[in-house]
Amino acid sequence: MKLLTTFATLVVLAFSPAASAQATRTWVSGVGDDANPGSRTAPCKTFAGAISKTAEKGVITVLDPGGFGSVTITKSITIDGGGAEGGVLSAGTNGIVINADADDVIILRNLQIEGVGTGLTGLIILNAGAVYLENCRIQGFANGIVETTSATTGTQIFLRDSFVQECEGNGISLGPVEGAASVLFLDRSRVQGCGVGISVGTGARAILNESVVAFNVADGLKKVGSGLIQSYRNNRIIGNSPDGKAATLSPR
């Protein structure tokens, strides 16, 4: 009888949904709880709590305005602030760290990543296939976006309708990393009020389109070694000291 009972228990466990099963869509809320499953009616409290309950290529959505904490991303995923514009408050630490596989795609949308003057780096890209920032704002960090990918093919980084501002060091920094060939496409975006606006290292390339790099206290644009910065159309590189435009901005 004991053997039958044990067998029956194993059968139930095998065919029942696991308590830790990951969902393709989860939610966070300022009044949520990370002990929750992350469902629409029982949301998590932080992005870190939700990501462990979200399947690869899934979506984390913000239900209401709030600060949802720093997070490390290790898989393809979308984090969407929606109409609420979810916040990542990262005083004294990094905001978002991406350390995924070389073919993973990460999408960050409608997020405000705030370092309140003491944050370290707003977004660190260690490894990924592609990273999209859409309608995001990064401000108040020592550095805004730092890419040091270990992917042999580099990382494609897309900023659209986004701001990087008031970061003491680099607004955006790419490489250099030996063997990598990362590309940044800055579309209708701004980098302003930082130390160096955009710094591009050996093997990396930045392409600007209808974007503004303005009032950075050091170079607006800076290339290191064979780094390349290109203009597609209608860019404004103004008010930086030195301006950096003539020496580093090449026509595409």
SS3 category, 165: strand
- For 192-227, the pLDDT digits (tens) are 999 999 999 988 999 999 999 999 998 999 998 888
**pLDDT tens figures, 111-125:** 999 999 999 999 999
Query: pLDDT tens digits for 31-54?
Result: 999 999 999 999 999 999 999 999
The answer, yes or no, to whether residue 246 has pLDDT greater than 60, is no
The pLDDT value given to residue 28: 97
Instruction: State the total domains in the chain.
Output: 1
Identify the pLDDT of residue 175.
83
The domain that contains 186 carries what CATH number? 2.160.20.10
C-beta separation of 107 from 76 below 8 A: no
Q: pLDDT: is 206 or 180 the higher one?
A: 206
Residue 6 lies in a domain: no
Query: Is 91's pLDDT higher than 50?
Result: yes
Sign of the CA dihedral with 141 first, then 149, 158, and 237 last: positive
Structural element, H or E, at residue 89: strand 86-89
Residue 25 lies in a domain: no
Q: Which pLDDT value is given to residue 149?
A: 78
Tell me the pTM.
Answer: 0.88
Give the ranges where 139-196 is alpha helix by DSSP (H). Answer: none
Instruction: Give the pLDDT confidence score for residue 4 in this predicted structure.
Output: 47
Query: Has residue 61 been placed in a domain?
Result: yes
Q: How many CB atoms lie within 10 A of CB 6?
A: 10
Percentage with pLDDT > 70 across the chain: 85
Is residue 31 assigned to a domain?
Answer: no
Q: What is the pLDDT of residue 84?
A: 65
Is residue 130 situated within a structural domain?
A: yes
DSSP label at residue 22: P
Please say if the pLDDT value at position 10 is more than 60.
no
- DSSP per-residue string spanning 90-131: -TTS-SEEEE--TT-EEEEESEEEEEEEEEEEEEEEEE-SEE
Q: Residue 68 has what DSSP assignment?
A: -
Report yes or no on 12 lying in a domain. no
7 pLDDT above the threshold of 70: no
Model pLDDT, residue 233: 92
The pLDDT-based confidence of 136 (bands split at 50, 70, 90) is: very high
What is the structure's pLDDT at 19? Answer: 43
Q: Which domain holds residue 193?
A: 56-251
Residues paired with residue 54 on neighbouring β-strands, in sequence order? 23
Residue 86 confidence (pLDDT): 77
Whether 228 maps to a domain, the answer reads yes
Across the chain, which distance is largest between two alpha carbons, in Å? 85
Residues 42, 241: Cα–Cα separation, whole Å = 50
Residue 20: the pLDDT is 56
Which residue has better confidence, 241 or 90? 90
Model pLDDT, residue 243: 62
Q: Is residue 244 part of a domain?
A: yes
